[in-house]
Amino acid sequence: MSDLTYAKIDQTVLDTLRPATQVYWFTVALLAVGMLGGLACWIYQIFIGIGVGGQNNPVAWGTYLINFVFWVGIAHSGTLISAILHLFHAGWRNPIARAAETMTVFAVCTAGLFPFVHLGRAWMVYYMLPYPNQRTLWPNFQSPLMFDVVAISTYLTVSSLFWYTGLLPDLATVRDRSTGLRKKIFTILSMGWTGKMEQWRHYTRGYLFFAALATPLVISVHSVVSWDFALGVVPGWHTTIFAPYFVAGAIHSGLAMVLTLMIPLRKIFSYEKIITLEVLENVAKTIILTGLIVGFAYGTEFFIAWYSQNSIEIAIFKWRALGHYKVGFWIMVVCNTIIPLLLFIKKIRRSIIWLFVISIFINIGMWFERFVIIITSVARDFIPHAWGLYWPTVVEMGIMVGSFSLFFFLFVLFVKHMPSVSMTENKEMLAEGESHGA
């Protein structure tokens, strides 16, 4: 960080907003095709019916729920980085906070699609909203599914507002260095921000409250998502550890996605001086922690299942490890808890390639964790004659590819048209570094 100046930070970030290359537009087009493929699958499902998915009796929840939980989980680490680390004054968050918060907003958007898709009759989604109607029907707020509606909408709203507030000073910076149409757009977006100390006075206070409010929100949202499962009585689901276990798992997968996104980003956009190896190393260290928590949860669940001496509890955990879906189970355990242990080794933590590869494995592992939890518990619950199996269909996989395409599409569009690194926060870090004589 030694030779960074305010001007260099601005220049590095503003350079990313220059007109894009052909490779870029080709990537965007490819992602758009993926999205359209997913949309086509969904339209097919709306016409033919929800049965085109693999869900059946007894496994009524399939990849739509898995992907829902997966994307909400990814969103969480963005808020961890931008909100929680802000409260801890952890300076290493500044270079990645903007991109992480963006990842959050887009991940929640992607996640929010899945309840629609899963509904089948998506046009009836408004039933979930509490408004006076002539049937005098109201949603049942005691249902964890309604908790979800409330929590996810709150999370999307709060994250978007937090993200936008954080963007505001940077939007002014872009405005002041643009011309023509871009200048007009950014003038409106930046709301006339001029960096007056009067404005900063309120801004910093408001931002602090955003961070202080987003922190308990993050913990509550994924707890609520975990309660979609834990509040039922299904064996393997009904367990008190779910809320913190899901939150830790969410942060685990989110941080891995942060690495997956940041590593190519920093190479392509020449952010190496801002998103330094130290920053990535700190993300890696946090991943060690979340991986250990997730491993602790796995171990505890198995131990308590044995301790309970409840034959059904024991049976479901045995089946998870050794039954029909054991491949998914072992992928989950190895990718989430064993592979991150490699990050204890300093050489691996500081190697870009290792970090990228490990992050991909963790993402795969976390997807399979949701698969194992959701599918195995429902496939074999209490009554043996009602047991069944599940496998996703092509339509479901198409929609899943579409969701990944959507997420990356939004993210790729964002990074080329908006400042993907917070110039303001990084300049702040420089100023603080100078005043501490560091």
Partner 1 sequence: MGPECQVMGLFTDEERAASAVQALEETPWQLKQVHSPIPSHKLSEALNLKKSKVGYFTLVGGIIGFFSGFALAMFTAAKWSLIVGGKPVIALVPFVIVGFEFTILFAVFGNVIGLLIQGGLPDFKGMEIYDPRCSGDHFGVLAACPEIEKGQLINYFKEKGGVTRVFES
Partner 2 sequence: MLSLKNKRLVILGIALIAIGFLAFIIQVAGSHPERAWQAYLINFLLWSAIAQGGLLFSVIMHLTKAKWCGPLTNVSEVFAAFFPISFALFLILFLGKAHVFPWQHMDLHGKEVWLNVPFLFFRDGVALLILYGLGFTYLFYALQLKAIGAATGGRLRSFLDQKMGINPDVTRIHQRMSIFSVLYALAFAGVLSLIGYDLVMALDPHWISTLFGAYQFVKAFYVGLGGMIILASALYLTQGDSTGLTTTHFHNLGKLFFAFCLLWADFFYVQLVVIWYGNIPEETAYVIERTMVPPWNFLAWVVFIVAFVLPFFILLNKNVKTKPKFMMVLSAVILVGIWLEHLLLVGPALSHGSRSLPLGLWDGLITLGFLGLMIFAVVYFLDEFPELKRFQPAVEKR
Q: Which of 155, 242, 325, 390 binds partner 2 (CB under 8 A)?
A: 242
Residue 95, amino acid: P
Q: Which of 27, 154, 276, 351 binds partner 1 (CB under 8 A)?
A: 154
- The one of partner 2, partner 1, none whose footprint includes residue 198, by CB under 5 to 8 A per kind, is partner 1
Which among partner 1, partner 2, none contacts residue 242 (Cβ within 5 to 8 A by kind)? Answer: partner 2
What is the pattern of x (binds partner 1, CB under 8 A) and - over residues 217-256? x--x---x--x-----------------------------
Instruction: Provide, rounded to whole angstroms, the least separation between the CB of residue 278 and partner 1.
Output: 21
Instruction: Name the one range near partner 2 by CB under 8 A: 55-63, 132-140, 269-277, 302-310.
Output: 302-310
In degrees, rounded to 5, the angle at the alpha carbon of residue 225 between the alpha carbons of residues 44 and 381 is: 80
231 binds partner 2 per the rule CB under 8 A: yes
Task: Please state the closest distance from residue 68 (CB atom) to partner 1, in A.
Answer: 18
State whether residue 143 is helix, strand or coil: coil
Please work out the total of residues on this chain that contact partner 2, with binding judged by CB under 8 A. Answer: 28
User: From the centroid of its chain, how far is CA 53?
Assistant: 24
Q: Note whether 343 binds partner 2 by CB under 8 A.
A: no
Q: Which residues contact 4 (CB under 8 A, 6 or more apart)?
A: 273, 274, 426, 430
The interface region with partner 2, picked from 38-46, 194-202, 238-246, 334-342 by CB under 8 A, is 238-246
Told to check if 309 binds partner 2 by CB under 8 A, we report yes
Among 78, 18, 86, 16, smallest CA distance to 425 is for 86
Whole-angstrom distance, CA of residue 97 vs CA of residue 83: 9
**Cα–Cα distances in Å, from 135 out to 132, 215, 296, 349?**
8, 39, 48, 59
User: Does 307 help bind partner 2 (rule: CB under 8 A)?
Assistant: yes
Per CB under 8 A, does 150 bind partner 2?
no
DSSP per residue over 230-255, as a string?
A: HTS--TTT--TTHHHHHHHHHHHHHH
Which amino acid appears at position 237 of this protein? W
Residue among 236, 252, 168 nearest 202 (CA): 168
**Under 8 Å between Cβ of 211 and 83:** yes
Task: Report 391-420 residues binding partner 2 (CB under 8 A).
Answer: none
Position 33: which residue type? V
CA distance 72 to 79: 11
The entry of partner 1, partner 2, none that residue 292 binds, CB within 5 to 8 Å by partner kind = partner 2
Contact criterion met (CB below 8 Å) for 74 and 107: yes
Which one of residues 205, 267, 285, 318 is an interface residue with partner 1 (CB under 8 A)? 205
Question: Kindly report the CA angle at 259 between 332 and 417, in degrees rounded to 5?
Answer: 130
Nearest distance, CB of residue 140 and partner 1, angstroms: 7
**Site membership for partner 2, residue 112 (CB under 8 A):** no
What is the largest distance, in Å, between two alpha-carbon atoms of the chain? 72
List phi, psi (to 5°) of 327: -60, -45
Scan residues 416-435 and list those touching partner 1 (CB under 8 A).
423-424, 427-428, 431, 434-435
- Taking CB under 8 A as the criterion, the residue among 100, 230, 257, 366 binding partner 2 is 230
Q: Which of residues 274-333 bind partner 1 (CB under 8 A)?
A: none
Instruction: Indicate the residue among 179 and 240 with the shorter CB distance to partner 2.
Output: 240
Please state, in angstroms and rounded to a whole number, the distance separating the CA atoms of residues 265 and 300. 38
Partner that binds at residue 200, options partner 1, partner 2, none, CB closer than 5 to 8 Å by kind: partner 1
Candidates 36-44, 59-67, 233-241, 263-271 — which segment interacts with partner 2 by CB under 8 A? Answer: 233-241
b/e code 237-255 from CB counts within 10 Å (16+ = b): bebeebbebbbbbbbbbbb
378, 60 contact by CB (below 8 A): yes
Name the site residues for partner 2 (rule: CB under 8 A).
89-90, 144, 216, 219, 223, 227, 230-233, 238-244, 292, 296-297, 300-301, 304, 307-309, 344
Name the site residues for partner 1 (rule: CB under 8 A).
5-7, 10, 130, 136, 138-142, 146-147, 150-151, 153-154, 157-158, 161-162, 165, 169, 172-173, 175-177, 187, 191-206, 209-210, 213, 216-217, 220, 224, 227, 423-424, 427-428, 431, 434-435
